[in-house]
Every structure is written in C-alpha cells, then in structure tokens.
Structure 1
Amino acid sequence: MDWDKLRIFHAVADAGSLTHAGDTLKLSQSAVSRQIRALEESLDAILFHRHARGLILTEQGEVLFAATRDMSRTLESASARIRDTEDEVYGELRVTSTTGFGTLFLAPRLPALYTQYPDIKIDLMLEERVLDLPMREADVAIRMKEPSQADLIRKRLMTVTMRLYASEEYLRANGRPETIEDLADFRLISQNIASAQVSVGAQLIRELTARPLRSSFTVNNYFGVLQAVINDLGIGVLPDYVSEDFPELVHVLPEVASGDIPVFLAYPEELRHSRRIAAFRDFVVEEIVAYRRARQS
C-alpha cells in the first residue's frame, strides 16, 4: 500500500475537507482529490461520502482512518523517544490544563522555563475536558483531580481552595462585608454555575448565590472573574493561588471557602524517560515550591 496516499487520506479524514487537507499538506485540492481516488481504486472501496458541506467517512473509510490514526500516534511516539535520546531538551511538548490554572498560574511562569530551555516548543491546550494521555491527545496534563486513566505516572502538586477576593478600591467605595449575610449588599462575581469547573468550586458558588444578592456578574472562566475583580466590579470567587501574583487583591470573609481541590501532574508511562517531560515536571515542581515559600513568608 502506498504510504504517501495513506498520509493524504489521513489528512483528509482528519480535516473532513479536501481544501483544508490540501492547505495542511501544501498540495492543491485537485492533487489531493486524485490521490484519494487512486487509493479508493487500489482498495476497490469507497472511502468517503461526498456532500456539499464536506466529506464523511464510509464504514470502510472509518476502518482505514482508525488504522492510520494508530500509525500516526506510533510514529509521533517514536519521534519523541528518538528526540529524547539527545542531551538537549528541545522539540514539541503538548501540555493540557484547565483554563483557570493554565492562564492564571502556569502561563505567567513559563518565561523562566523558556529561558532555561529556549528550543522547547510548548503547545498549551486550555480546556476543561480531560484529554486522553495514553492515546497521546497530550503529553502531560495538569488537572484539578487525580487522573483515573491507567498507565499514567502522576504526582500531586498542591492543594487549591476557592475564596473571596475584592479590590481595595471596591471595598473603599462599598464597605467591607463582616459576615456572609452581608454579601446581600454587595455584587458577587463568579464563574457561571453551568460552565465546566471543579465540583467543590461550583458547590461554593451554588451556596453563595442561593442567598439574596443585590447584584451579580457571572463569566465562564476564572480569568474573566479575576479581570472583573481587579477592575473594581465586586467581590469574586477565585482560586487562592491568584493572591501571590496579584497582591493588590484583598481576601474577604476568610471563613468562606470551598473544600480542598487537589492539583495533579500526569503523563504516560511510556514517556517516563522523556527529557522534555522531566524538564517540564521539574520546572512546575520548583515553581510550586517557590509559591509555597512566598505564601508562608
């Protein structure tokens, strides 16, 4: 079977479009179409249903796509292992994390990692969906719960708690709540209860919004909550790690807090000896140790 035709088929199946696949492969749409027709003729099978809105795999196409997907992952894994035999840390590292932690804690600290390893190429994927590490949807994950997938090396990094914060200017203009009942006279800023988030954080928001509130503002991620708080909009529900990087935040009602949220780093067993993984893991651990020391001082 022609490997080049399989590569083109995989790109088309992945994109669902001859045009998009051609852009990825730097081939014309007609060239891609010819290769697909030639592959179908060699297999004596129809691989795609053609529709005005794009291409849909046939049953035979699904079988072949599953095989090329496995081949692609195997080649990616082999390439990573070959690169990791070198002394230098370089190449692509796909990191997945929640939007909140990735935006507010991890991304601001990455310049230090790039200073140490200038040739590394990090693809930071921020989403609440748990990516499948054994299937190589990502190389390493930082999640707000212990991963349940098998064949993963995992390390507990820290514990996060959701708390209430406001700006000095907002408190100066509106006063400061002394009890949880006082929140009725303030504007509460929180992540939308319907958006993806850790369960204990959602539970705290649910408890707070069940009480009468003069005003509220919701947004679908913690970065939006933080921006609203530092711009004097109200009292926000935020992860406590933001207090170190944003010392202007004022912690209000210390007795109001969520349950503990464990933060884990995980990566596939097959990447145990990866220099890129080790460099990233050690960097994150060092940053969290520094964060803990700063909070204790």
Structure 2
Amino acid sequence: VTTTVGLGAGWLTERVQEFIELYPEVSLQLILANEELDLTMRQADCAIRLRQPQQPDLIQRRLFTVHFHLYAAPSYVNKYGKPNSIAELKAHRIVTFGVPVPAHLSELNWLETVGDFEGGQRVPTLQINDILSIKRAVQGGAGIAMLPDYVVSKDSGLVQLLPETEVPSFDTYFAYPDAMKNQAKLHVFRDFIIAKA
C-alpha cells in the first residue's frame, strides 16, 4: 500500500492495527512517499492518493476530502497575536511544506501565495517537507501553518485561526490496477479502508 508520508503516518497507521487484528493472514507493507508510485508497473498493489489517479487502467474509489485549517500554538498567539484576516498574515511567521513538492500537492504551500501583498510571495520562517513535523514545529511556537484536520486532534493544544477562511482541500482516492481486481487480500483491505473513510 502506498500513500503520502503525511496521510500514511497521520491517518492510515492509526487504522492498520485494527485491520491486522481482523485479517492476521494478510501481510501489509506501507510505502510512504510524496511521489506517486506506478501501480501499473507493480511498484505497489494499491494506493491512497490525495487526488484522482491519473494513470490509465486503474480502478478507483473516492474515499473522503482532507480539509485543512490554519493553526498556531497558544504561545505564538500570546506573543504575536492572532491575524484577523489573510492580509494580516504578512506580519506573521508562517511554516510551509517547502520544496520539492509534487505539482499535485503544490497547494500545501498556499500560505506563501494567498492574499494580496507586495513582493509576489510570502517568505516562510520555516519549511519542513513533512506534515507531522510541521505540526510539531507549530506546537513549539514556530509560526502559523496550514494543517490537515486528521493530524490536529482536540488535545493537540493548537489554536485554529481564521476559521471562516476557505483553504485548499484534497479529495482522497483508493486506487489499484485492473490486474489486481480478483485478489481477495486487496478486496478485504479496500473494503476496510472504505469503511474507515
């Protein structure tokens, strides 16, 4: 099974223990990478992707939408205040995904370009190419970041900012090659993931 590092570490791994208990005869290998593996070349049996798969001959099913919001730590808000609009982000520290980022995930750097401001692009204080590490940096007070809901739990201690702001989201799909459609182990995993979506 392949998926992005963030979705794999922040969403999928929390669910695989239940799958392993239900289906002990099925062996799983999770391949976490932000680059998409070629399923038709059997680089993986199936994928959970943050966009509709582009490869031909893939069977696919939409799972859910990953919603993002802006967050900061209480310590950051106490020191620098809360922005009341996107325009006020220019006076704040931002943390983004940085580069390299696959083209289909480029909106992970939305905070660098959103809103009207001079200079063409907001310069982040910190760039980290891992969503869970961005969350940890924000919890430590590094700045404001756009984080997916699945990594921000009620006990994360983070403050949601500008909740009315429309931020990017990603539709998530389960996909596998047509050649795998008769594999029982793939069917049980697919059905499990669909039920957890």
Name the TM-score class by shorter chain: 0.7 to 0.9
Give the aligned partner of residue 142 of structure 1: 48
Q: Tell me how far 1:240 sits from its aligned partner.
A: 2.8
Moved more, 279-288 or 240-249: 240-249
Give the aligned partner of residue 72 of structure 1: none
Q: Deviations over 1:180-208 (max 9, x none)?
A: 22223322111104433634514623314
Contact 2:96 2:109 in 1 (8 A): no
Aligned CA distance change for structure 1 residues 286 and 246 (closer, same or farther; 3 Å): farther
Identity %: 31
Aligned CA distance change for structure 1 residues 147 and 247 (closer, same or farther; 3 Å): same
**CA distance in structure 1 between the aligned counterparts of 2:13 and 2:155, rounded to whole angstroms:** 15
1:132 aligned counterpart, secondary structure: coil
Give the aligned partner of residue 235 of structure 1: 144
Q: In the alignment, does 2:16 pair up with 1:110? A: yes
**CA distance in structure 2 between the aligned counterparts of 1:123 and 1:210, rounded to whole angstroms:** 45
Unaligned runs of 5+ in 1: 1-94, 289-297
**CA distance in structure 1 between the aligned counterparts of 2:111 and 2:155, rounded to whole angstroms:** 22
Q: Tell me how far 1:130 sits from its aligned partner.
A: 1.8
2:27 aligned counterpart, secondary structure: strand
Give the aligned partner of residue 185 of structure 1: 91
**CA distance in structure 2 between the aligned counterparts of 1:200 and 1:256, rounded to whole angstroms:** 19
Larger Rg: 1
Give the aligned partner of residue 97 of structure 1: 3
Total equivalences in the alignment: 194
1:233 aligned counterpart, secondary structure: coil
| 4+ aligned runs moved over 6 Å, structure 1 | 212-215
Q: Deviations over 1:38-72 (max 9, x none)?
A: xxxxxxxxxxxxxxxxxxxxxxxxxxxxxxxxxxx
Unaligned runs of 5+ in 2: none
Q: In the alignment, does 2:155 pair up with 1:249? A: no
**CA distance in structure 2 between the aligned counterparts of 1:245 and 1:107, rounded to whole angstroms:** 19
Give the aligned partner of residue 89 of structure 1: none
Q: In the alignment, does 2:170 pair up with 1:261? A: yes
The residue type equivalent to 2:125 in the other structure is S
Contact 1:153 1:266 in 2 (8 A): yes
Aligned CA distance change for structure 1 residues 245 and 267 (closer, same or farther; 3 Å): farther
**CA distance in structure 2 between the aligned counterparts of 1:215 and 1:203, rounded to whole angstroms:** 9
Q: Tell me how far 1:137 sits from its aligned partner.
A: 1.0
Q: Which has the higher helix share?
A: 1
**CA distance in structure 2 between the aligned counterparts of 1:181 and 1:129, rounded to whole angstroms:** 32
Q: In the alignment, does 2:63 pair up with 1:157? A: yes
Contact 2:96 2:108 in 1 (8 A): no
Q: Deviations over 1:98-138 (max 9, x none)?
A: 11211111112222212222343211111122212122110
Give the aligned partner of residue 193 of structure 2: 284
With a CA cutoff of 8 Å and minimum separation of 6, indicate the structure with the bigger relative contact order: 2
Q: In the alignment, does 2:188 pair up with 1:275? A: no
